[in-house]
Chain A
């Protein structure tokens, strides 16, 4: 009974998450440029995607930035969360409140202030400044996630490790990292997701030669979103699903 209830709840949430995705996949076969009403079946959006599409380049750029920034933000954020937890240093609380400030800053404020900053220090907007910006807005989410996991731990673990002669680095590497791993993965997932979806900060911090997918998508609304973008999203979605399933099977085999 209880198991069934759990199963139903879990399915309901996944249903909530996947029904819209299913809708957008179905509508990627919709034979219309102009509306979201069903006008008949077509494969042309996929054909267009495969022959030549400016969306492809933007997608690749997006994936590069999302991978790089999420990894960097995760490493930095994990170190940061540990530092905030373990060490007492000048400005610790003020620095932590800035983590919250980043999270609540409206995108436009962050985008413009970062761009002004890059211009002031002489960095021309482009892929590099875009990366810096993405790391910056992902960082707080990693810090908060990892910190929430750390903060419940028994501090005696650290003391025991230190008593056994472990250095700070060894203690971090061999004790904290494994314990924190679920939170680190969660932080990475959130960063990757955030980076892949950011529009406003990216608009201001990138340059004329490096365009990422969300910018293209947002700029599309003026002429109406074409199902071509649904087709791209559907492909991406299926690809991630396959990758995840394969990874799951492979790690299972190894057990």
Chain B
């Protein structure tokens, strides 16, 4: 066990922050989930499981399922699109790398709502893409792009891509090229170099990027609503409606707690399996 003032400072400051601003407010949520709803005062201080009873319905399961699929899909697409991008970027000369990264992030300093509206201008029935294709004579009828599943994924990837690319970049960037060269000298095929060396060594980045896309994507709903036409209900809508429309904080809190528990189980199983698979020591943070 290391003892030093620096250790105490590093551990203390983080733990203090997380305890005060994350754990305590989260305990509020857990507490509300067990209290009684009161139309006048929002919450009445009586123990009540109604919040949980209300959300245990097929509707909640469907809502969770949609959100899960959407978040998973977004994560996979972001990973597939982001990995080669991060890889090429991390292999460029240093100053170009920095430039490339900044150029990637600058578009994201514009409000995501405004950018989503720009996507609508591109994809709508009388939008830029359709007008261009029609005037070129490539299509007869406007393509139906807006309010489709594709539009939703385009929008979600467009919003979350940097959360995949940046951690991938940081872990690819420290990859020791000598390992790849050595493998190549030993006659390994490109495919094997990639699956046996590059992927395992950049696994921390893949895991970090995937969690940073997957978890926020779970709760997002305004992009799917705008681009998908709000045809379905996602966990984000569901919880928001409990808190705002029906002012049913116990149900909203319960939904949030259940979501957390499901995800924690999910992550726990994932880390257990990845520890068994012995992928580069990422299991130690389960």
Contact = CB atoms under 8 A, between A and B. Distances in A.
The answer to whether A and B touch directly, with their CB atoms under 8 angstroms apart, is yes
Interface of A: 6, 9-10, 13-14, 16-21, 23-24, 27, 36-37, 76-77, 79-80, 82-84, 86-89, 91, 93, 95-110, 112-114, 116-117, 132-133, 135-136, 139, 141, 143-145, 147-149, 151-152, 167-169, 172, 179, 182-183, 185-187, 189-190, 192-193, 196-197, 199, 213-214, 217-218, 221, 225, 229-230, 233, 236-237, 240-241, 244, 248, 251-252, 255
Interface string B89-120: 10000010011111111111111111101111
Given A27-B121, A87-B11, A109-B256, A148 B170 contact: yes
B107 A147 contact: no
Contact of B112 (A91, A116, A148, A197): A197
A108 B244 contact: yes
Most chain-A CB neighbours within 10 Å: which of B112, B167, B211? Answer: B167
A185 B94 CA distance: 14
Which of A97, A148, A214 is the most central at the interface, judged by chain B CB atoms within 10 Å of its CB?
A: A148
Which 7 interchain pairs have the tightest Cβ spacing?
Answer: A148-B208, A80-B14, A20-B118, A106-B219, A186-B166, A104-B215, A113-B25
B69 interface: no
B95 A248 contact: yes
A144 B212 contact: yes
Interface in B218-265: 218-219, 235-236, 239-240, 243-244, 249, 252-253, 256, 259-260, 263-264
A95 to B, nearest CB: 5
Nearest to A172: B6
B114 A113 contact: no
A99 B121 contact: no
B215 A106 contact: no
B173 A244 contact: no
B179 interface: no
Interface stretch (B52-60, B134-142, B180-188, B199-207): B199-207
Contacts of B24: 117
Given A104-B260, A167-B4, A13 B81 contact: yes
A185 B166 CA distance: 9
Contacts of A10: 85, 88-89, 100
B105 A193 contact: yes
A186 to B, nearest CB: 4
B13 A244 contact: no
A186 B109 CA distance: 14
Nearest to B23: A98
A9 B165 CA distance: 14
B162 interface: yes
A76 B13 contact: yes
B44 interface: no
A36 B162 contact: no
Nearest to A220: B113
B126 A37 contact: yes
A9 B243 contact: no
Nearest to A30: B121
Interface in B1-47: 1-2, 4-7, 9-11, 13-15, 17-19, 21-26, 28-29
B262 to A, nearest CB: 10
Given A217-B113, A237-B106, 8 more contacts: A104-B218, A112-B243, A113-B25, A136-B17, A145-B167, A193-B109, A237-B110, A240-B106
